[in-house]
Amino acid sequence: MSTIAALIVLRGFIATARRTARERYADNDVGASTLELVIIVLGLIAMATMLVVAITAAVQRRVDQIN
């Protein structure tokens, strides 16, 4: 089988898979809700805050050792 023929067949499979997925999930709510996004953002902010506090404490300990 030549490369071009194989690519044509593969493209057909991909198009069929995309069409099937689009039809299957067309009626469903696929995205995240606003509440979910708010919870995710608050979690990321909390993790970033803890990271800043930990780095600040580590740097402060090192500075205290120098003095």
Kindly report, residue by residue over 6-57, the tens digit of the pLDDT.
888 889 888 999 888 888 777 666 677 788 889 999 999 999 999 999 999 9
Instruction: Answer yes or no: is pLDDT of 5 > 60.
Output: yes
Distance CA 20, CA 54 (A): 48
**Residue 4: which pLDDT band, with cuts at 50, 70 and 90?**
confident
pLDDT at residue 2 in the model? 80
Given a cut of 80, whether residue 62 has pLDDT beyond it is yes
Predicted confidence band of residue 1 (pLDDT cuts 50, 70, 90): low
Handedness of CA 19, 20, 25, 27 (dihedral sign): positive
